[in-house]
């Protein structure tokens, strides 16, 4: 009888789970499938995680960490001072690009992942990140910081257009996406 290989930890399980979601979507994710990819038994997986939902939650968190890492890099590269429109435009484009490059993961983050973990204290801040970022936008002569409806609408536009593109419901180029974003920004942010 051959001996089962050892895992290096929970991170190895999450990395494989992310790969499965990225390549095939969330519906392909199961403890049995992860175990098969790792060459271990399904029960071995549960030595490292509580249950499959724990793995799925970590996939969502990892997706947000990666997406917000791209946003942070892009915003950090902008010359100061940054206007509110430019800040929001860069953030929107980075989200759109992430959705385009990682369609299954993005779809999971904003569909099933949102339904499953929206109220989870560890995950909830990720779903209000855009609004929180936009509250910090310093735009001359604008009441953007005070306009919660404008922030919520901007977040909805960015996420829904990116999600439609990721799921191939409505395909658009980055330039077409920017037409929608610019239309909104020109009307809602004085810069």
- pLDDT tens digits, residue range 42-81? 888 998 899 999 999 999 999 999 999 999 899 889 888 8
- For the four alpha carbons of 114, 120, 125 and 128, in that order, the dihedral sign comes to positive
pLDDT above 50 for 1: no
Which residues, in sequence order, are CB contacts of 177 under 8 Å at separation 6+?
92, 93, 96, 161, 162, 165
Alpha helix (H) residue ranges in 102-147:
103-110, 112-117, 124-127, 129-135
Residue 28 has what pLDDT? 95
Residue 162 has what pLDDT? 97
Domains and CATH numbers, the chain: 1-49 (1.10.10.60), 60-188 (1.10.357.10)
Note whether 13 and 34 are within 8 A (CB). yes
pTM: 0.86
Residue 104 has what pLDDT? 97
Which DSSP state fits 144? G
Among 21-35, 62-76, 124-138, 156-170, which is the least confidently predicted range? Answer: 124-138
Note whether 123 and 60 are within 8 A (CB). yes
Residue 133 has what pLDDT? 66
Residue 137 has what pLDDT? 54
The predicted model gives 108-126 an average pLDDT of 91
Max avg pLDDT among 35-49, 75-89, 136-150, 157-171 = 157-171
pLDDT above 80 for 132: no
- For the four alpha carbons of 33, 122, 161 and 72, in that order, the dihedral sign comes to negative
Residues 70-116: tens digit of each pLDDT:
998 998 898 888 777 888 899 999 999 999 999 999 999 999 999 99
Residue 141 has what pLDDT? 47
């Amino acid at each position: 009888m051959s001996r089962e290989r050892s895992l290096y930890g929970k991170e190895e399980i999450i990395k494989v789970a992310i790969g499965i979601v990225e390549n095939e979507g969330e519906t392909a994710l199961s403890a049995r499938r992860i175990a098969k990819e790792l060459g271990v038994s399904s029960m071995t997986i549960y030595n490292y995680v509580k249950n499959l939902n724990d793995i799925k939650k970590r996939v969502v968190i990892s997706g947000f960490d990666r997406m917000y890492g791209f946003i942070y890099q892009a915003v950090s590269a902008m010359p100061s001072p940054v206007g509110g429109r430019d800040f929001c435009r860069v953030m929107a484009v980075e989200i759109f690009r992430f959705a385009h490059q990682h369609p299954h993961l993005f779809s999971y983050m904003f569909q099933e992942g949102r339904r499953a973990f929206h109220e989870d204290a560890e995950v909830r801040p990720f779903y209000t990140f855009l609004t929180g970022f936009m509250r910090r936008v310093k735009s001359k002569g604008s009441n953007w910081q005070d306009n919660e409806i404008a922030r919520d609408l901007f977040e909805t536009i960015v996420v829904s257009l990116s999600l439609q593109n990721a799921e191939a419901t409505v395909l658009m180029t980055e330039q077409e996406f920017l037409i929608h974003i610019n239309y909104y920004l020109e009307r809602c942010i004085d810069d």
